[in-house]
Amino acid sequence: MDILHQLGIDPKVILIQIIGFLILFAVLKKFLFGKVGELLSSRQKEIKDNQAQIERQKEDTQKLKEEYEKHLAKIEEEIRERIAQSIKEGQEDKEEIIQEAREEARKVMEKAKEQIEIEKEKAKVELHKEVANLALLAASKVIGETLDEATHRRLINDFIEGIEELPS
């Protein structure tokens, strides 16, 4: 104890300081450490909850991204299918138009052939009439007399039959 006095240390003061420290520690433990511990626990729980929420949001975002990519792929596939369908329909329409044009051209050609045949027959009839008239006129001049109607007709018909028998 003398040594403590020589050093300027009073054991009573040290004892009072130790008791004060223990009282302060007990008070701090009861009022402050509990609150600080609760505050730290609360903050730690809040951080964990935030991290869990961030993870859930990341998962949700990833799911949305995957759904969006699937939807986008589906839309692109539908677009490709529609384009292919449009091309196919265009080809079918083209073929149909070509077929209709060919059919129309065939009908026009048939009609033209029929018209040519009709005109040809008309020309033959006219030619027969003209030849008959010319033959009758020539025969009248050669004979030098006028024929009666019945003889006239008979001569014309004989002449026409003779012409029809000739190769065309």
Give the domain extent around 141.
2-165
The number of distinct structural domains making up the chain is 1
- Count of residues making up the chain: 168
| 34 compared with 76, residue with greater pLDDT | 76
Name the residue with tokens 């012409």: 163
Q: How confident is the model at residue 86 (pLDDT cuts 50, 70, 90)?
A: very high
N-term to C-term CA, the chain? 166
pLDDT, one tens digit per residue, over 93-145 is 999 999 999 999 999 999 999 999 999 988 888 887 787 777 767 766 666 55
